[in-house]
Each structure stands twice: as structure tokens, then as C-alpha cells.
Amino acid sequence: MRKAWIVASVAISSALAFVMLLVVGVYLVAGNLVSGVGGGAKSLAKGSVPAAYAATVQKWGNLCPAISPALLAAQLYQESGFNPRAQSHAAAQGIAQFIPGTWASHGIDGDGDGDRDVWDPKDAIPSAASYDCELASYVKKVGGNPTENMLAAYNAGAYAVIKYGGVPPYSETRNYVKRITTLAESFAAPVGRVDPSEQAAAAIEYAQKKLGTPYLWGGTGTAEQGGRFDCSGLTQAAYETVGIKLPRVANDQYNAGPHPSRDELLPGDLVFFSDDLTNSRAIRHVGIYVGGGYMIDAPRTGAVIRFDPIDTPDYFGATRVTEDGAKALPMTV
């Protein structure tokens, strides 16, 4: 096995110049391409919502035209990271983070079992969708984008949206609207080509320079750690060199952009692995795709940063990192 790996490594290293030329080509043309990911996508990306909640999000995300399953998923992820037991210091509760007063007036019995339980996702997720649609109805006569107006009403109140004839000029509200609409793209199944990342070449170049570095669990490449990394520490550092700040852990990095299919992968895409292929929150490993079915990754304790194949039974999917997508992510979920 060791001999076979050495031979494979030599072959991969020989082909790296070609791969880097491909990546540079991707980098140069990326700015000229038109995005294939648009608004209004009605299907969720594979595994982007935990399987236990996916059907509920898909159903209730189509409750009214102002929302979509992807948008509803983005809100839930932003609020709680899909944690049904989440509770904030402000007393917001459950997967949708309703405060008690809002739940009392807007919570619904989503599963028809005779009660309204803020801790039950089968009630809380439908209630979140219902609340969104109620807000949308308040501002339906306001000009502009109805989804953005709804999100602005969620953040700043319907009165402010009506007063300003659209998203009010509050930086917090405008940032919230952009964050949720951008984040929704990472929960939507792409409906067309997914743009290549302009930062791909530099991210791969950084990772390539780390080949042979010993793995360190929790490693982020600091001097105190001897410049060592774990898997998500390496991908975080690689993209940080081009000004893109990714979250620390792999399952949050999955939401840093849209998700190309296996046959659409380009160098620079992040590739993810999980023992549960129905739940992005269970992702446990990430690498940087370099082409030819291989990635650069920091695999495990006792190993070094190296080339590994991606076509394994635990391959979960990929993310094409975007600057806006990364900025939309909460750093802690």
C-alpha cells in the first residue's frame, strides 16, 4: 500500500502543473461568467437541512411567494444552527428562536397534535414560515422585492418598511436582509451552472505549500502549533489568504456558497465527508479539490497534509466558496 501511495503521489505531483494551469484559467475567467444560481429555487440542496427537518422545511417553505424552502432553512440555520433545544440570553427558544411573547401570538400547531410547543420543530418550523408570510402580508403593498421587504419587517418591524417604502436605511437591517438572502443560496439546489471562485488558484497554492506538514487536531497553523493544521484549519487558512474568512469547523464551512455536483467540480471547491449523508451538520472532514478526483487535505492524527482521492463512500458533497457566502455565515452556530 505504501509503495502504491508513493507512485500515486508522484503521478499527482507530475500533473500538478496542469492542474494549476487549469485553476489559473478558472481564476481569470471567473469574473466574466454569469451566475446560474438565482432566486426562487424551490428545492433544497442535498443534505443541507438535517433529514429530521427537511420535509417540514420543504413543505412550509412554500407557504407563500415571499419565502422558499432555502430561505426558511437559512433563517433556521442563522437562528439556531438547527438545534431544537437552543436558548439565547434574551430567552429566545427552540429551532426558530421565538421569544415567549412572539410565540404566544404567532405560534401555531404545525403538526396538528393539539398543542403549540416552541421546542417541537414540527410546530416551530411551520410557525416561522407562518410568521414570515404574515409579515409579508403586512408589507405587500410596498414596492420592491417582497422577500427583502419581509426580511426587513422581521428585523426592523413592518412599520419601518412601510414608512421608507422598502428596506429601511438601517445598516443592521440591510445587513440582515443581505445575509439571509445570500445564505439561502447555500441551501438551495442549484438550478444552473455554479460560478467558479476567483480565489481558487491562491487557495490551492497555499494548501500545496503545506504538503507534508504533520496533522494537528485543532490546528490552525499558528507559530505556537508549529504551523500545523487539522482539516478545517487548513481550508480556513487557505481561503483567509485571499481575504475570505470561513468559520472554524467543517460543517459550517459547507454553507459558504452554492453546491456544485460531483461532475461540476472545479479546483478550489471545498469537498466534504460525513458518516451521515443526509445531514450537513454531521460533516466531519473537508479538503480542497485540485482536480482529477483528488484533494489536498489534512486527514488525521499521525498523517501529514497530502493528496487524497475524494471518491469514497463517505463523500458528502462540495461547496464553491464565495466571498458573500462566507460573510453571511454566523461564526458560531
Distance in angstroms (rounded) separating the CA atoms of residues 75 and 239: 25
Torsional sign, CA 228, 233, 239, 244: negative
Phi, psi of 279 (to 5 degrees): -150, 105
Distance in angstroms (rounded) separating the CA atoms of residues 155 and 166: 13
**Degrees (nearest 5) of the Cα angle 322, 156, 185?**
20
Residue 264 designated active-site: no
Coil, strand, or helix at residue 271?
strand
Q: Cell numbers for 32, please give them.
A: 466574466
Torsional sign, CA 269, 40, 43, 97: positive
Residue by residue, DSSP assigns 277-333 as: TT-GGGEEEEEEEEETTEEEE--STT-BSEEEES-STTEEEEE---HHHHHHS-S--
DSSP 8-state secondary structure symbol assigned to residue 272? E
By annotation, the residues acting in catalysis are: 79
